[in-house]
Chain A
Amino acid sequence: MSDGSRGGRATGPDDPVAQWLGGGELVRPSAAFRSQLRTRLLALPPAAAAPVGPTAAQVAIAVAVVAGLGTLAAITWTGSRQPTEGRVAATAPAATAPAAAARDVPVERAGPGQGVGPVRAPADNREAVAPPTPAVARSTAGPPAPVTPAAVASSLPATAAAASMAADQSGAAGGESAPRPPGGGRAREQTPQPSATEPAQGVPPSPALPADEPSALPPAATPTPVADGLPAGPTPAPTGQGWPTLPPPSPTPDGGAE
């Protein structure tokens, strides 16, 4: 390739453009500029010399933006799910709270019309959620027939803690475990049950109970950690929400005597 010193050589003297544009001699850079630029070029770090692709800072910013968007999306999603959570859980066959409670605590299944009081969760709900029959069979080794509170107590270890826990759990199982009169109205008058239901205030609603029955929600919410996580120890591990120490063990809960 030509060296540039032949500016305008491709045209003849009759070309006015060549006269205007060409004709100049080669313009050389100053020696100082030449050597200075050379030194600077050779001293450039490779990263600065070849700015290809995103820099580390750009990558960090992109990661932060993506993470922020992800968090925002998660928060938004959670917020949008919150109001319907109770409803969704109520319809879902949650095997957690009631089932766990029923697994450990023999529960007398209220018969038709029994236990469907205005306060407690209806027996139909429980049936739809977690049939207690297997639990009863496992813990009592008896038939899945209705179990009386006396049978419940006798099936448990005859220790105070166990009895206390049984009473506790029976209350935690939605208030249906305690024997009730056929009308179901006795539940409110039973001594342990109010104490078992009260601390449930403020506890997230149980997924097993319908959201439109607020009175049934609190007791169903509490049993999950208690029934599942507790060993047969001396203390029923109250949640600190007012779970009182239950009265001295009695072989049969209040309602069981009936």
Chain B
Amino acid sequence: MDDEASEAAPSADHREDALLLEAARRDRQAFGLLYDRYVDQIYHYVHRRVGETAVAEDLTAEVWERALGAIERYEDRGAPFSAWLYRIAGNVVANHYRQQRLRRLLPLISQGNAHDPRAEVDDRSVVRQALRALSASDQEVLSLHYYAGLTPAEMARVLECAPSVVHKRLQRARERLRARIEGDSRVGR
């Protein structure tokens, strides 16, 4: 299985990442190389989760700023560097949604940001809304799998759990999302 193959000895990419990380702790230019290597993946993941380019850019920038701030505390535990970045990105997106919920609780602010029902309603946005209605854990599992395209073994490194656990979580999250989307009449099938 490719899952087990992914957990094999560190790949060339991983070794290269390790060298870059070591250099990035002392040299900002080396951090730039890491940035060049992973910025597209992280942006894609964030964009798929939030659906808006402007928001995705803001959150992607926040992800990289956090990564830069914490690069000296990064410990290589065998997982690829991108797993760490995905974890940061997941936290940033979760915070973003948390803040959005708080803003909705404030009537004066929410007046300006109220959701317009006449806004574009396509299947993708409805699916995204259904995804947001899930728990943070379910959102993360589904996003890593479907948006970032990670295998369960790779997700296990991001989520720091066993691949079997990832399989179960993924299955349950998939069922819950399916139940929500199929219950929404706006989604064309």
- Choose from A4, A29, A49, A51 the contact partner of B149 (Cβ within 8 Å): A4
The answer to whether A56 has its CB under 8 Å from any CB of chain B is: no
Q: How many residues from B make CB contacts under 8 Å with A?
A: 53
- Assuming A2-B148, A7-B149, A16-B178, what are 7 further A-B pairs, CB within 8 angstroms? A7-B48, A15-B174, A17-B146, A20-B177, A26-B44, A41-B35, A42-B31
Q: How far is A9 from B147 in the complex, measured between Cα atoms in Å?
A: 10
Interface membership of chain A positions 17-30, coded 1 if the CB is closer than 8 angstroms to chain B and 0 otherwise: 11011101011110
A22 close to B146 (CB less than 8 A): yes
Interchain CA distance A255-B48 in the complex, whole Å: 107
Smallest beta-carbon distance B10→chain A, Å: 12
Q: Are A18 and B146 neighbours in the complex by a CB distance under 8 Å?
A: yes
Q: Are A50 and B142 in contact (CB under 8 A)?
A: no
Partner of A28, one of B32, B40, B123: B40
Is A1 an interface residue, CB under 8 A from the partner? yes
Q: Is B146 a contact of A27 with CB atoms below 8 Å?
A: no
For residues 3 through 26 of chain B, which have their beta carbon under 8 Å from a beta carbon of chain A?
6, 13
Task: Indicate whether A52 reaches chain B with its CB closer than 8 angstroms.
Answer: yes
Please encode chain B, from 45 to 56, with 1 for each CB lying within 8 Å of some chain A CB and 0 for all others. 101100000001
**Given A7-B148, A50-B69, also A42-B41 (CB < 8 A):** no
Distance between Cα atoms of A5 and B41 in the complex (Å) = 8
Which of A's residues lie within 8 Å of B, judged by CB? 1-11, 15-18, 20-22, 24, 26-29, 33-34, 37-38, 40-42, 44, 49-52
Give the Cβ gap from A47 to chain B, nearest Cβ, in Å.
10
Q: Give every chain A residue within 8 A of B187 (Cβ-Cβ).
A: 20
Write the chain B residue with the least CB distance to A18.
Answer: B146
**Contact between B142 and A49, CB atoms less than 8 A apart:** no
Complex formed: what's the CA distance from A111 to B44 in Å? 104
Q: Which residues of chain B have a CB within 8 Å of any CB of chain A? A: 6, 13, 28-29, 31-32, 35-36, 39-41, 43-45, 47-48, 56-57, 60-61, 64-65, 68-73, 80, 82-83, 123-124, 127, 131, 142, 145-152, 154, 157, 174, 177-178, 181-182, 187, 189
**Measured between alpha carbons, how far is A28 from B60 in the docked complex, in Å?**
12
With a cutoff of 8 Å between Cβ atoms, the chain A residues found around residue B146 in the complex are: 7-8, 10-11, 17-18, 21-22
Give the distance in Å from the alpha carbon of A256 to the alpha carbon of B153 in the complex: 108
Known A1-B82, A50-B70; judge A17-B174 contact (CB<8 A): yes
Partner among A1, A20, A44 whose Cβ is within 8 Å of the Cβ of B123: A20
CB within 8 A of B150: which of A2, A28, A50?
A2
Of all chain A residues, which has the CB nearest B11?
A1
Bound together, the chains give a CA A42 to CA B65 distance in angstroms of 10
| Nearest Cβ on chain B to A40's Cβ, whole angstroms | 8
- B36 engages A10 (CB within 8 Å): no
Looking at B44, B47, B82, B131, the one whose CB has the most chain A CB atoms below 10 A away is: B44
For A20, list chain B residues within 8 Å (CB): 123-124, 127, 177, 181, 187
* Assembly CA distance A139 to B64 (angstroms): 86
Q: Known contacts A4-B45, A7-B146, A10-B145; decide if A49 and B69 are in contact (CB<8 Å).
A: yes
Hey, which chain B residues are within 8 Å of A40, CB to CB? 61
Residues of B within 8 A of A49 (CB): 65, 68-69
Cα distance, A27 to B36, chains bound together (Å): 15
Interface contact B61-A37, CB-CB below 8 Å: yes
Q: For residue B145, which residue of chain A has the nearest CB?
A: A10
| Contact residues in B for A51 (Cβ distance below 8 Å) | 69
Contact at B32–A42, with CB atoms within 8 Å?
Answer: yes
Which residues on the A side are within 8 Å of B36 (C-beta)? 38
CB atoms of B65 and A41 under 8 A apart? yes
Give Cα A15–Cα B177 distance, bound, in whole angstroms.
Answer: 12
